[in-house]
Amino acid sequence: MERLQKVIAKSGYSSRRKAEELIAKGKVTVNGETVTEMGTKVKKGDVIQIDGKTIEFENKVYYVLYKPKGMISSASDELGRPCVVDLFNEIEERVYPVGRLDYDSTGLLFMTNDGDFANLIMHPSSHLEKVYDITVRGIVTGETLHQLEKGIYLDGAKTLPCKIKVTAKNMEHKNTRMLIRLVEGKNRQVRRMFEAVGHDLIRLHRAACGGINLKGMTPGEYRILKPQEVKDLRRLAEEAKEKNKNFRQKRGK
Per the residue annotation, which of 102, 116, 133, 232 is the catalytic one? 102
Taking the C-alpha atoms of 71, 103, 223 and 60 in order, what is their torsion angle to the nearest 10 degrees?
A: -90
Please say if 51 is a catalytic residue.
no
DSSP helix/strand/coil, 137: strand
> Quick count: other Cβ atoms within 10 Å of Cβ 93?
15
Name which of 101, 33, 26 is nearest 66 in CA terms.
Answer: 101
What's the number of CA atoms in the CB half-sphere (13 Å) around residue 167?
11
CB 100 within 8 A of CB 58: no
What's the number of CA atoms in the CB half-sphere (13 Å) around residue 189?
26
CB 63 within 8 A of CB 111: yes
Catalytically active residues are 102
